[in-house]
Amino acid sequence: MKVLLARLIGFGTAPMIVAVVPLLVLPIAARIQGADGWAAIGTGQALGSLLAMISSYGWNVAGGARIAMAEHDEARRDVYAHSFWSRLTVFVVAGGVAAWAAAALVGGAFGGVAALVVLATGLTGLTMSWYAVGTGRAQMVLWYEAIPMAVFTAGSALVMQLSGQLVAYPLMMIAGTLVGLAALHLHLFGRVVPPLHPAGIAGSFRQNLPLASADGLGGSYTTAPVPITQGVVGTQAAAELTSADKLYRVGLTAILIVGNTLQKWVLEATWEQGRTRRHLVALALHLVVGIVGLLVLVLLGPWLTAAFLGSAVAPPPSMFPAYGVTYLIISLTTPLIRNVLVPANRNRIVLLAIISSACVGLPAMFLLGSTLGATAVVWGLAASEVVVLTIVGIAATREILRQRAIVANA
């Protein structure tokens, strides 16, 4: 239990820094150029989150387990190097398309800002928290990801306040990410970029294709509410939904922390040593996190967004129950995918769940948004997560029962 608590503190510190620092910046960004500027940031970050999921190429899901099971540090560094170059390639290709889409969707004076926000957010697909999770070295996330991002993000608040221009925010975010990556690579390889091994990179592309497809399709619906609202409802509604979405995504940090803390603890036990019990403990803790998140969003969400981001872009209270339900479902789905299905190489099941979810969620969000407004868009998001939980829950239960049967027969 002491080891688990130490991991919780270690892997919780860095994400909390990354989550809290923007709370000092976003109130400025939400106010200095009105609802139009705030909606541009929201649209850019939504499409940028999709870009980050595509650029991560499945490593955020599978990387931690692969690093944990690698035989020695040199093998771990090789895995990271291959992942970096494959992810950078995807980022360069997909980044141009996503930035253009954001500029076209927002248009006007803030199209360029939206495009830069896409690239700044999308660069997070190149970060290394999964590597630190796999090695159990929480301080790596702190020094090479959280602190650089915190310093540059906080600096953007000062620049925005002095200049009155939103463009400082994405530019400083880009700088923070690149500085952190350069420092990490100097630590691991003694050079600013990792060594380039084409054969390993090609293998990385092939191995991660199913998970990368799932991430990309998953991002297509999980990041869709703000852009869809911008397109079918309007800028003011998109600005309000952006505010609710920001609070929701800050809350997702708690799920990330618990997931990172528990993954290695669950997987380091064999089935004979009681992995089933650890799976149940992980699921129970994620259930608690999900319920707490739901209650915070529903009960405190309207007040928090109005207080921090301003009444001009404050969302209606009716928007938060949908986000709360979505939050609960994601919390329950996380350990089933990361701790059960991915380590068992059941990646096709994950892909099936994501495809099914996107097929349900995207049309639902468009239809509900165009007929019932922005709040209904979020209920479309919740419906898509129900599909994921149903498919993943059934598959994970069967996998656990299968492993238990193997142990019993042995």
77 vs 189: CA distance, rounded Å:
8
169 vs 155: CA distance, rounded Å:
9
pLDDT single digits (tens) 145-164: 888 988 998 899 899 988 88
Give the pLDDT score at 127: 85
Range of the domain at 327: 2-409
Instruction: Tell me the mean pLDDT in the region 250-268.
Output: 85
202 vs 57: CA distance, rounded Å:
13
Buried b (16+ CB within 10 A) or exposed e, 261-282: bbbbbbbeeeeeeebbebbebb
260 vs 134: CA distance, rounded Å:
9
CA geometry: angle 159, 164, 170, nearest 5 deg: 55
Q: Helices 320-335 & 275-309, crossing angle to 10 degrees?
A: 150
Query: Percent of the chain scored above 70 by pLDDT?
Result: 94
**259 closest CA partner among 183, 325, 340, 377:** 340
Q: How confident is the model at residue 271 (pLDDT cuts 50, 70, 90)?
A: confident
**283 closest CA partner among 334, 248, 346:** 334
58, two tokens: 């499945």
pLDDT single digits (tens) 33-91: 888 899 999 999 889 989 998 999 988 877 877 887 787 889 899 999 989 999 999 99
Count of CB atoms within 10 A of residue 60's CB?
A: 20
Of residues 108 and 6, more confidence is placed in 108
Instruction: Tell me the mean pLDDT in the region 301-325.
Output: 93
**Do the beta carbons of residue 242 and residue 313 sit within 8 Å?**
yes
List Cβ neighbours of 5 (8 Å cut-off, separation of 6 or more).
Answer: none
**284 closest CA partner among 274, 296, 292:** 292
State the chain's maximal CA–CA distance in angstroms: 70
41 vs 121: CA distance, rounded Å:
10
Q: How confident is the model at residue 324 (pLDDT cuts 50, 70, 90)?
A: very high
| Tokens 């096709």 -> residue | 348
pLDDT single digits (tens) 189-243: 999 999 988 887 887 788 888 778 777 777 778 889 999 998 899 889 999 999 9
257 vs 331: CA distance, rounded Å:
11
Give the pLDDT score at 152: 93
102 vs 121: CA distance, rounded Å:
12
Q: How many domains does the chain have?
A: 1
Alpha carbon separation from 117 to 98, 222, 248, 301 (Å, rounded):
10, 18, 19, 25
Please say whether the dihedral angle defined by the alpha carbons of residues 319, 251, 65 and 177, taken in this order, is positive or negative: positive
Of residues 62 and 307, more confidence is placed in 307
Instruction: Tell me the mean pLDDT in the region 370-394.
Output: 95
